[in-house]
Amino acid sequence: MGVDVVTFGCRLNAFESEVIRREAEQAGLSDTIVINSCAVTNEAVAQARQSIRKLKRERPNARIVVTGCAAQTQVRMFADMTEVDRVVGNDEKMRGEAWRAARNAFDIGTSEKVAV
């Protein structure tokens, strides 16, 4: 399995999701689901949380990474979700280094979830 990106929010997020997928795949991530979140409404945040829980049930071995505006504004909430393996800050999500760091963290089994 490669990298799947689930996008919430605006057209900018849709564009950025394609860049995120490419950067994450080039970093060597596999069997990973990236949630590119939106914080415009509480409903958008709730939908992201619901999606995370559903995706983890459907693909229990996949790693789940949350990024985007909601991940930036509600870091601890997402990091505290047992289904979430990593939170990548909004400022970092377009950088290949952030995705290489995520891969390295997964490879060594670090318990630190937050890269904001």
Number of domains in the chain: 1
CATH value at residue 72: 3.40.50.12160
Range of the domain at 56: 3-115
Tokens standing for 34? 């990236």
108: number of Cβ within 10 Å: 7
Q: Is the pTM of this model over 0.75?
A: yes
Q: DSSP of 40-108, one letter per residue?
A: SSHHHHHHHHHHHHHHHHH-TTSEEEEEEHHHHHSHHHHHT-TT--EEE-TTTTT-HHHHHHHHHHHHH
The predicted-structure confidence for 85-112, as pLDDT tens digits, reads as follows 999 998 999 999 999 999 998 887 666 6
The predicted-structure confidence for 3-53, as pLDDT tens digits, reads as follows 999 999 888 889 999 999 999 999 999 999 999 999 998 999 999 999 999
Token pair 């630190």 is found at 112
